[in-house]
Structure 1
Amino acid sequence: MYRVWNFVTTYSLLLIAGAIIALLWANIDAHSYHSFVDFVIVDNFFIGHPHEEGGHITRTLTLHYLINDVFMALFFGIAAKEVWEAVILENGALRGRKAMTPLIATAGGMLGPIAVYLGLAAVLGVYETVSRGWAIPTATDIAFSYLVGRMVFGAGHPAIRFLLLLAIADDAAGLLILAIFYPTAELAPEWLMLSFGAALGVFVLFNWLPRRLDRGNQLRPNSTWVRKYLSFWPYLIAGCLSWFGFQEAGIHPALGLLPIVPTIPHADRAFGIFAEAEEFLTDLLNWIEHHLKYPVEIILFFFGLLNAGVEFSAISEPTWLVLFGLLIGKPVGVLLMGWIAAFPLRLGLPQGMRTADILVVGCVAAIGFTVALFVASVAFPGGPVQDAAKMGALFSFGAAIISIIAGKVLRVEKIHG
């Protein structure tokens, strides 16, 4: 497998740093922290949090909105790029029979947490209050789970690939959940015509048409001219239009780049999820991802800073629902569905991987952090319930300790490579 270590290490360290600063700040001076998070950049603007004023809707652009709804679109765009390549390209990680067991295990890793979350909510008598947060514990943080997975299995263990497939498929499902179940306002689906029209237009004019005109000409003059003189600019403009269409449609605008990613010229084969080797490819999609790497790392620092600032006094039932959904529902769901896929369905496991390793993978995948925080911020309005749910997402770091212990108890053999 091509190395991904440098990318996720930097990504993780900056995100952790932002989260730690936020936790300390919120528990030392909560008022100044929340004033910072809700700082108003522009009032009565065309983007921002909607609110009714004088009988019509106006928007306020806050620092929180700028990070969570605008800049995080770049993070989800990179995630979408990895999913798209894994599905569409030759040797894509999510193509064919080899991906079926991890994909079915992913379904278990989502259904298990939902069942635990909603079941415990019903038992505790808080179902009506917290049911909207059912998707929070379905998340798997790709970077952190990968880091912990390396500690438990070693870089060369086949379970690492299994874990990465599960995590990327989990995030793909999470993007769909956000789009379908968590609208940001009253739905106005007609605005999606702007998003998908921008995607269709930029694909036809700047991707399909130049290639069509270059048929039979190995020099590819039209495609070369578009790439040399226009570069990423048509896709940036289309991305802005798509983002705005999502905002106006009432779908979370952080997902606004999803229709644009498949329209960008891409490589003809996959090198692996977040593979360093892709830095040396010349296709526009990988070029864009490479140049977004450092800006997105900074964005994720601010995401941690603006979202992880929860007072410890906020701990309550939603905290435990999210936490137990991740720590119990995720491993059990992954093990159960992974076993069904591997044996009753006869899809098998990667060579060198045991049934016990599936359970350990499920424990590692229980680290929800980034996406769990994001879903918590859209599932509940700001207040005690949201803060309590976020605390559960932060506490899911405990899955790292559980994973290391499980690896020792189940005698996982580390394979370095």
Structure 2
Amino acid sequence: MRRAAEVWPLRPTVRYARTLAEALRTETIGGIVMLLATMAALVWANVSIDSYEALRTAGFGPESLHLNLELYKWAQNGLLTIFFFVAGLEVKEEFVHGELANLRKAALPIIAAIAGMVVPALVYLAVSWGAEDASRGWAIPTATDIAFALAVLAVTASAMPAALRAFLLTCAVVDDLGAITIIALFYTDHLDVVMLLVGAALIALYGLLQRRGVRSLWAYLPLAVLAWYFVEVSGVHATVAGVALGLLTRVTTNAGEDSSPAERADHYVRPISAGFAVPVFAFLSAGVRLDGDSLSVIFSDRVVLGVMAGLVIGKFLGVFGGAWLAVRLGLARLSEELHWRDMAAVSALGGIGFTVSLLIGDLAFGADQERATAVTTGVLAASLAASMLAAVLLHVRVRKRRNGLDDV
């Protein structure tokens, strides 16, 4: 006998609802800070591109340890590791206490998120087909920037049901897991196996200490730094270490504990990630010229057009189509408090790529500075377009709900 599909969203536990509320609040504020950092970078770059480039490419760090990196590389490989550590905590929390604790019950956001990665990649490949080195950039439009997306949702549609924000956050968690997998598998150019094994051993030791209930910060901080270092010099992108450490952080509460290590880490690290690490990365990555020549390139390079189409069109079709398909196939049912027009509006938010899209763009085309700059401009333009489209759709939905016209 076939089991009935679960209505989504599920009833959250008190713990998960509290965690979700804190995450939404912090990421929303972080999105606003990141927007200000992006605007500052654009202003500086268009006033004096030479001084901006001099800042972002200034190198420092011990050469003997292979850590003499440019400033923007420190932001990519160092600060974004903090971001992905928080992403790892989110994934672990979702799998143990959240919507992903039962994969069958979480079919709606899981299928929507997976389709939201596959369809943009296909759209990108279709648009960029035949362009030189186009295949390296297929993953750029697969990512959604949760901080920006939540900020747009909070500013334009705070009156929408909380289930819609939970859907967006759950999709983003699956999206982050997919993104870090893609980076590890497809954007590792060289590999030092010995260094990677040492890094893996340190990460495993971190996990063992978590299981043993060790609580001292000074037991974990050196391990985390050393694990980051060995993964960094192994050739695998250092952010993989961040998400691995997050996934191994304990999310259950032992006797005598008021909160789990994951809750405590999230409480202290998430504000650093959202309020400092990601905005600094945005500031050092988003500074591009916006003159006529620069803007004309994004409409003449099929790689950039593919990125933009993948984000604005592919993400919408993927997320909305995946959710619709999950319901159509009987794998999930939509809650009565949500409507398909609500889902369409929030699906448009998936096109806000930014943080991870900029990271993958640099990993894909960093050796070709002209194209890398054009791709950055394309990601910014597409994220802006997706933000405006989503804001309009959400505004319409809020107004119809306010006027009692939900089915119109």
TM-score norm. by structure 1 comes to 0.82
> Which secondary structure state, in structure 2, belongs to the residue aligned with residue 377 of structure 1?
helix
**Following superposition of structure 1 onto structure 2, how do residues 11-410 of structure 1 map, counting pairs within 5 Å?**
11-42=30-61, 44-48=63-67, 60-87=68-95, 89-90=96-97, 92-96=98-102, 97-122=104-129, 125-126=130-131, 128-150=132-154, 151-152=156-157, 154-183=159-188, 185-204=189-208, 206-209=209-212, 223=213, 226-227=214-215, 231-268=216-253, 282-296=259-273, 297-312=275-290, 313-315=293-295, 316=298, 317=301, 318-382=303-367, 383-395=369-381, 396-407=383-394
For residues 356 and 262 of structure 2, the distance between their equivalents in structure 1, rounded to whole angstroms, comes to 23
CA contact 2:127–2:305 (8 Å) conserved in 1: no
Deviations 1:58-91 (A, max 9, x none): xx2221222211122111101111111111x23x
Deviations 1:312-366 (A, max 9, x none): 2434223322111111111111222211111223422233222333322211111
Offset at residue 408 of structure 1 (A): 5.3
Structure 1 unaligned blocks of 5 or more: 49-59, 210-222, 270-279
Offset at residue 19 of structure 1 (A): 1.0
For residues 190 and 120 of structure 1, the distance between their equivalents in structure 2, rounded to whole angstroms, comes to 40
CA contact 2:87–2:243 (8 Å) conserved in 1: no
For residues 115 and 412 of structure 1, the distance between their equivalents in structure 2, rounded to whole angstroms, comes to 35
CA contact 1:154–1:414 (8 Å) conserved in 2: no
> Which secondary structure state, in structure 2, belongs to the residue aligned with residue 309 of structure 1?
coil
Deviations 1:173-192 (A, max 9, x none): 11111111111x41223432
Offset at residue 43 of structure 1 (A): 5.8
Q: Give the paired residue count.
A: 369
For residues 64 and 272 of structure 2, the distance between their equivalents in structure 1, rounded to whole angstroms, comes to 25
Offset at residue 199 of structure 1 (A): 2.3
Structure 2 unaligned blocks of 5 or more: 1-16, 403-408
Report which of the two has the higher share of helix: 2
TM-score norm. by structure 2 comes to 0.83
In percent, how many aligned pairs have the same letter? 28
For residues 249 and 268 of structure 2, the distance between their equivalents in structure 1, rounded to whole angstroms, comes to 15
Deviations 1:134-177 (A, max 9, x none): 11111111122122234247353422221111111111111111
For residues 242 and 321 of structure 1, the distance between their equivalents in structure 2, rounded to whole angstroms, comes to 36
For residues 112 and 281 of structure 1, the distance between their equivalents in structure 2, rounded to whole angstroms, comes to 43
CA contact 2:108–2:331 (8 Å) conserved in 1: no
Is 13-22 or 152-161 further displaced after alignment? 152-161
Relative to 1, partners in 2 of residues 1:264 and 1:339: Cα closer, same or farther, differing over 3 Å? closer
For residues 408 and 294 of structure 1, the distance between their equivalents in structure 2, rounded to whole angstroms, comes to 29
Letter of the 2:262 counterpart: L
Letter of the 2:36 counterpart: A
Relative to 1, partners in 2 of residues 1:81 and 1:47: Cα closer, same or farther, differing over 3 Å? farther
Is 281-290 or 159-168 further displaced after alignment? 281-290
For residues 230 and 311 of structure 2, the distance between their equivalents in structure 1, rounded to whole angstroms, comes to 33
Relative to 1, partners in 2 of residues 1:399 and 1:243: Cα closer, same or farther, differing over 3 Å? same
For residues 253 and 105 of structure 2, the distance between their equivalents in structure 1, rounded to whole angstroms, comes to 19
For residues 290 and 157 of structure 1, the distance between their equivalents in structure 2, rounded to whole angstroms, comes to 21
